Amino acid sequence: DAGVTQSPTHLIKTRGQQVTLRCSPKSGHDTVSWYQQALGQGPQFIFQYYEEEERQRGNFPDRFSGHQFPNYSSELNVNALLLGDSALYLCASSYRQGTSTDTQYFGPGTRLTVL
């Protein structure tokens, strides 16, 4: 049973560039959430996708956008990269039950470095 997978593992970009990160959920899961984890901090919620729509959003600017595909996989896009966007980006998947979902299971993350 494959867990949550993310690609790429590492990424180096320069300020102003755009980046796309990818996530495949755990088998049987239909909901994907994205988190940003700065060095030495706890993860911060970016947004969540269910049924190909953004359902919840944290306190992140519009430069952060996403997409969910019919197979439940998801992308996180960040435009006009800033040095402060350097972080570990974690994807979590879960199964939706009623108005809330079951436990979120995390992938290994993508480490983004912005120079």
Partner 1 sequence: AQKVTQAQTEISVVEKEDVTLDCVYETRDTTYYLFWYKQPPSGELVFLIRRNSFDEQNEISGRYSWNFQKSTSSFNFTITASQVVDSAVYFCALSAYNTDKLIFGTGTRLQVFP
List 25, 34, 94, 114, residue binding partner 1 (CB under 8 A): 94
Q: Which is nearer to partner 1, 18 or 56 (CB)?
A: 56
3-state secondary structure 19-61: EEEEEECCCCCCEEEEEEECCCCCCEEEEEEECCEEEEECCCC
Site for partner 1 in 8-37 (CB under 8 A): 31, 33, 35
- Rounded CA separation 104/41 (Å): 19
In one-letter notation, the amino acid at residue 51 is E
Q: Which two tokens stand for residue 27?
A: 């088998």
List 2, 39, 42, 71, residue binding partner 1 (CB under 8 A): 42
SS3 category, 114: strand
Binding segment for partner 1 among 11-19, 63-71, 76-84, 87-95 (CB under 8 A)? Answer: 87-95
Interface with partner 1, residue 49, by CB under 8 A: no
Binding residues for partner 1, per CB under 8 A? 31, 33, 35, 40-45, 48, 56, 58, 88, 90, 92, 94, 99-101, 103-109, 111
